Amino acid sequence: MTRKIDPITFEVVRNALSSIADEMALVVLRSAYSPVVRDAMDYSTAVCDRHGQVVAQGLTLAVQLGSFPDVMEVLLREFRDDMAPGDIFICNDPYGSGGQHLPDLYVIKPLFVDGAVRGYAATMAHHSDVGGIAPGSVAIHATEIYQEGLRLPLLKLYEAGEPDRKLFRIIEKNTRSPVQVLGDLRAQLAACRIAERGFGQLVDRYGVKKLETYLKELHDFAETRMRAEIARIPDGTYRFVDWIDGVGDDPEPLPIAVTVTVEGDAITLDFAGSAGQVPAAINCPMAMVRSAAYCAIRCLATDDVPNCEGYMRPIRMSAPAGTIVNPVEPAACAARGVIGYRVFDAIMGAIAEAVPDLVIAGCEGGPTLFSVGGHHEGKPFVLTEVLVSTWGARAARDGVEGISNPAANLSNQPVELIEAELPLEVTRYGLVPDSGGAGKHRGGLASVREFRFLAERSEFTIRTDRRDHPPYGIAGGGPGAASANTLIDRDGEHDVATMPMKSFIARRGDTFRMVSAGGGGYGDPRGRDPYAVLADVRDEKLTRESARDVYGVVVSEEGKPATPSAVPRRPVRR
């Protein structure tokens, strides 16, 4: 194969670009203030070419793979002729500025070389609070975006190197946690500056023209790669409907419908048939739907595809306006992640029909969002937890438990740090036995996290899902266990809806327990290796009763059968 460019230099350039994006990610991680950035790693970094197209992305969150194209498009459209060295842009508005929801602040710096823009450094971070009706700014019970906090269209945060102090003051005055927000903004700004240095060195080394040839080649290469991957999927039209439980105390299920059409080396995703937008904050702007869909398709690739925009070219998407997957102003969208992650699940469900070996059964459903705040000993406090937990089973493997959702790559917050900094006690954090979907390969176990409130009065909001529509199994595998939220106060235990349209007040000593859904299973449970069942029983991941009733494997009380024949099979009760 002959190419116009030198394949070695190509790899060297590609390597250098990834290295810049990773370095940016590292700077944000190490110097950020808020737990949701520093521990949950809910942020993203990228280097873009002068057309605003992503050429490299830092290794942070999978689902954010496509998080920059929309905002970059707006930036170039509105400011192409109005950029100077030292300018830095900021925005978060999903309507008109390419944002996803208000807590995600984008900070983007044009990279100038010899007076012209040659690229962009872009960062996005989920900030701890941007105002709105509840601490953490992700409350589900907002019905319009106007209730969700500070809206920033694309604006210059720095102009020719000078900070816009008014804008900084406005931001500072519109958050419940100004120290964290400003600290995290500084981390994003530092990452952009780091990128400027690294990108400048690349230009020095190769010259503008040569570098741009290679960047173009990078997009073309990624496209070629992606087309080859798609070509491996049998042509056809595949449909799947997954469900959101719905909002409020008496929820009405909301469908996420996807029709996947594979034709040769191109793929089309159509979300027609999905529910209309709702007066609650779960509507998912198209920027995130696209991002989640790119991530799902990227997961089907068996080879290394560069994380640059070129690979998106063979993927086309459409969603009717006014639906939960393409809402229009003023739909509220702060807690839109639940839809984004379900888009991933729905695409997996559809593709399972075509390439069952490449997909994964239903996972926990994406992060549970738990935000709590109040005043304690005269000082305000806010905690946003982004809880992820488990995977569905695969064609040849059990689901992984104690892991981030495949569309995310989130971390948990250390219990000891939470307790040292906040009036909360974590009373339990671990796996839940018997919660993995049954199967030849079982789904990953659910996890439980339980808080005791130590402040006199704490206000919290919760967004979960997957209670009425637990994670699906594949090829005869059973669904994972349903999720549950329980508030325990002096009057006893109370079920809390998956997406309640309100915040809750907890008193000192009350406890709130969140149990995630378990992963879906894969294949007939009667085909499961009896020794795998036995190991699960011994590890107390499966009870003896479930081993017998679901898998037909009888395990003695000691849990130690001496030979395979000591593991008799019984007919399975279904």
Partner 1 sequence: MGIRVGVDVGGTFTDVVLLGDDGRLVARKVSSTPEDYSRGIAEGVAAALADSEAAPGDVASVVHATTVATNTILEQKGARTGLITTRGFRDVLEMRRLRIPVMYDLQYEKPAPLVPRRLRREVDERLGPDGTVRRELDAASLDAAVAELRREGVEAAAVSLLHAYANPAHERRVADRLRESFPNGLYVTCSSDILPEIREYERTSTAVVNAYIGPVVQRYMETLLGRLRDLGVGCPVHIMQSSGGVMSVEAAGRKPACMVESGPAAGVMACARLARGAGLDNLISFDMGGTTAKAAMVEGGQAAKTTEFEVGGGINLSSRLIKGGGYPVKLPFVDVSEIGAGGGSICRVDGVGQTSVGPQSAGAVPGPVCYDLGGVDPTLTDALVAIGYLNPGYLVGGSLPLNTAKALAVLEEKVARPLDRPVAEAAHGVLALACATMTRAVKAVTTYRGRDPRDFVLAAFGGNGPVLGVEIARALQIRRVLVPPVPGVFSALGLLYSDVEQEFVQTVMIRAEGAEADTVAAAFDSLEAEAREAMIADGFSAEAVTVERLADLRYAGQAYELTVPVAPGTPDLQDMARAFDREHERTYGHPSEGDPVDLVNVKVLARVAVHAANPDRHLLPPPPATLGAPRDVYFGPADGTLETAVVARTDLTADWNEGPVIVEEYDATCVVPPGCRARLDAFGNIDIAVDTRP
Q: Is 153 or 561 the residue whose CB approaches partner 1 more closely? A: 561
Contact 349, 360 (CB under 8 A): no
Q: Is 22 or 73 the residue whose CB approaches partner 1 more closely? A: 22
Q: Is 281 or 358 the residue whose CB approaches partner 1 more closely? A: 358
Q: Is 273 or 402 the residue whose CB approaches partner 1 more closely? A: 402
Distance CA 489, CA 507 (A): 8
Distance CA 17, CA 47 (A): 7
Q: Is 326 or 447 the residue whose CB approaches partner 1 more closely? A: 447
Distance CA 422, CA 501 (A): 25
Q: How far is the CB of 31 from partner 1 (least distance, A)?
A: 4
Contact 439, 473 (CB under 8 A): yes
Q: Is 413 or 503 the residue whose CB approaches partner 1 more closely? A: 413
In this structure, the number of other CB atoms found within 10 A of the CB of residue 261 comes to 16
Q: Is the peptide bond before 314 cis (omega within 30 degrees of 0)?
A: no
By the 10 Å C-beta count (0-12 exposed, 13-18 middle, 19+ buried), 489 is classed as middle
Distance CA 264, CA 131 (A): 47
Q: How far is the CB of 39 from partner 1 (least distance, A)?
A: 6
Q: How far is the CB of 188 from partner 1 (least distance, A)?
A: 11
Distance CA 135, CA 129 (A): 7
Distance of CA 49 to the CA centre of its chain: 25
Q: Is 73 or 220 the residue whose CB approaches partner 1 more closely? A: 220
Distance CA 371, CA 139 (A): 8
Cα-atom radius of gyration of the chain, to the nearest Å? 24
CA dihedral 74, 78, 82, 85 (to 10 degrees): -10
Q: How far is the CB of 223 from partner 1 (least distance, A)?
A: 11
Q: How far is the CB of 59 from partner 1 (least distance, A)?
A: 6
Distances in whole angstroms, Cα of residue 441 to Cα of each of 251, 470, 531: 32, 17, 12
Q: How far is the CB of 445 from partner 1 (least distance, A)?
A: 9
Q: Is 118 or 526 the residue whose CB approaches partner 1 more closely? A: 118
By the 10 Å C-beta count (0-12 exposed, 13-18 middle, 19+ buried), 153 is classed as middle
Q: How far is the CB of 145 from partner 1 (least distance, A)?
A: 28
Q: How far is the CB of 77 from partner 1 (least distance, A)?
A: 30
